[in-house]
Amino acid sequence: MDNLVLAVAIIGVLGVGAQWLAWRLALPAIVLMAIAGLLAGPVFKILWPESYAPGGPAPMQLLFGDFFQPMIAIAVAVILFDGGLTLDFSEIAGLKRGVRRLVIPGVFIAWALGLAAAIWIGGLEPSVAALFAGIMVVTGPTVIIPLLRQSKLYQRPAALLKWEGIVNDPIGAMFAVLVYEVITFESAVGHARSTGELFASLLLSSLLAVMCGFALGRAAAALFNRGLVPEYLKAPVLLALVLAGFEFANLLQDEAGLVAVTTMGVTLANARLASINELRHFKESIATMLVSGVFVVLTANLTMETIEALGPQDFALITALLLIVRPLTVFLSTINAGLSWKERLLLGWIAPRGIVAVSVASLFGATLVEHFSAGSYLAADQQAIAAMIASSERLIPLTFAMVFITVVLHGFTIGPLARALGLAVTEQPGVLIVGASPWAAGLAAKLKEMEIPVTIADASWRRLQPARLADVPTYFGEILSEVTEHHLDLNRFGNLLAVSGNESYNALVCTDLAPELGRASINQLSAGAREDDDRRSVSYTLRGRTLFKSAPTLDELLSRHYAGWFYQKTRLTEEYPPDSYLKDLGKEYEIILVVRKRQIVFATKERPLTPEIGDIALAYLPKAANEGTQKPAPAAA
């Protein structure tokens, strides 16, 4: 294929399509993206240019030309900034020591153990082994974030994995830069600097990169808080600052831009910026697109020669990194760090590598081969030179194999392992009811009776009294508070009912939690007979779906509650089909929800429910039906 626009379109469709398919099938998205890239690349050669020839430039590099490396670098910069933007220090209250240990001394332990494994098991030359071990320090947000989204971990282990992955990414890249500089320095002819000067230069450039990222983050926060940037320009200004900071730091030192953009993201995340959520959502959308595209591109860039270059020694090294180096690193670095043995066991297994590892290995692997092949070295031993070239050529296939194997293994095992250890949600997604009232307490009590997890949240202890008396789980606090994010695990819920007496508050709750739970699962009560163009009505773009077919208000539901309306659960079968069920309900009823294949579906005005055979339906019926005046539908056993 030589049509670049068509290639970009195919990459976008494959990447986003893999993420959508993963969502529909509840599979690890990163695995499907990798498979999509392999199928489009070395298997079917859909994305390979017609001029590609074995032994020449890699397919994607040939297709995109000089834009390939800058394109990947910019994508990685935005992805790391987006990751940093999610690192709020308040979410690791009680975990700071654990996070700090995973970074220091965790990074150095992982590098030392990885170096030993690469030399003794992998058979790499010591200098190349040090470079490979530095690259393997990283885990990365490009793979960790999709895994966390899919596995529904509890907050503590999720925060540990996320912080480690995002913070260690630039550190691992700088490790690789340091080792590369030392290798080329020691083998170069006529070098003018000492090794100590190399270390000092790298340390200084890293500190300058941190300062650059911090300064840009504080500057952006000041501009936004003082109203010097209009709302519609905030995201573009931020993106421009990210790219500027990334390139400026890279001019100081290769790969230092990764440090700068991560620091900038963390600075903004903790700057108490009023518009931070909108900026996060915008950056998350961009990062999702970039992760999809870059992962497809990098896996499509593989060739059969790269895959066939892997041998038993390479797989032995990968096995050692997975089963010895990573568990030992976590065990040693988290001694007395306040983590449970279950958390340490999960952390010791889950460490998928991602885009940063691949991009750094691709850059330095090819550069080292070119360096030693060009003759710019001091060593006269041709055998030693050949060994260095052979080890350098193994960097790229080894890294790709490590990325693909960890993505597949950890992608399919993180959920089952976390659930087995009690570190992830195991029950079916529940219902979060925001707004306590006697009617809400009655509905919650029925859901609890149906073994559907349910919690009622309200900022009033008095309003929560009916729910507490009904022995329903409650959350006392403001659902919109940042503190709530650290005390109420939203991963437990699949549906939201905003049922307070204030339409505007209900709409605000729906708008705030929609990115977490999805618009299709966000519901709120009707405000009455107001039209959308009524000046007293909240815009439909801010509201959730309107609960129940008849769209009753809270006052109407409370009237029904005090009039004796009751809830009735019914299982629909071939012997008792939906037609008979609806006929028996009579004229006055409200279908609340159906449980269909373990999924809870609420009736809304926009999407009235039609019960099907196999459903468990929950109806709301008047008191007359309970007294026998109206024939009730038979309740499920």
Closest CA to 63 of 76, 47, 78: 47
Angle between helices 96-103 and 155-187 (to 10 degrees): 20
* Contact (Cβ atoms closer than 8 angstroms) between residue 533 and residue 560: no
**pLDDT reading at 192 higher than 70:** no
What CA–CA distance (Å, rounded) separates 621 from 632? 8
Q: What is the mean pLDDT of the chain?
A: 84
pLDDT tens digit string along 65-119? 888 888 888 888 888 888 888 787 777 777 888 888 888 889 899 999 999 999 9
Contacts of 16 (CB under 8 A, 6+ apart): 289, 292
Q: Taking the CB of residue 210, how many other CB atoms lie within 10 A of it?
A: 19
Cα 136 from chain centre = 20
Phi/psi of residue 310, nearest 5 degrees? -75, 135
pLDDT band at 628 (very low <50, low <70, confident <90, very high): low
At 180, the amino acid letter reads Y
DSSP-derived letter for residue 604 is: B
Tokens of 568: 């009735």
* pLDDT single digits (tens) 31-79: 888 889 989 988 898 988 888 888 777 788 888 888 888 888 888 888 8
Residues linked to residue 424 through DSSP beta bridges, in sequence order? 153
Identify residue 583 by its one-letter amino acid code: K
Q: Does residue 478 sit in helix, strand or coil?
A: coil
Enter the pTM of the model.
Answer: 0.76
Other beta carbons less than 10 A from residue 184's beta carbon: 19
- Give me the amino acid identity at 247: E
User: Could you read off the pLDDT of 515-526 as tens digits, one per residue?
Assistant: 778 888 899 998
With contact defined as beta carbons under 8 Å apart, do 99 and 335 qualify?
A: no
Q: Which domains does the chain have, with CATH numbers?
A: 4-63+81-420 (1.20.1530.20), 430-626 (3.40.50.720)
Task: Count Cβ neighbours within 10 Å for each residue of 238-267 and write b for 16 or more, e otherwise.
Answer: bbebbbebbebbbebbbbbbbbbbbbbbbb
Task: Yes or no: say if 264 and 216 are a contact pair by the CB < 8 Å rule.
Answer: yes
pLDDT of residue 120: 94
Nearest CA to 395 out of 180, 574, 210, 212 is that of 180
**Whether residue 121 has pLDDT greater than 90:** yes
Q: SS3 for 43?
A: helix
The percent of residues above 70 in pLDDT, for the chain, comes to 92
Classify residue 631 by its DSSP letter.
P
Q: Compute the distance between CA of residue 375 and CA of residue 378 in angstroms, rounded to an integer.
A: 9
CA atoms within 13 A on the CB side of 509: 28
- Summarize the chain as % helix, strand, coil (round to 5): 60, 10, 30
Alpha-carbon distances, residue 188 vs 127, 175, 243, 347, 371 (angstroms): 14, 20, 32, 40, 9
Strands 522-524 and 545-546: parallel
Across the strands, what pairs with 596? 599
Task: Kindly report which listed range (53-57, 264-268, 522-526, 565-569) carries the lowest average pLDDT score.
Answer: 53-57
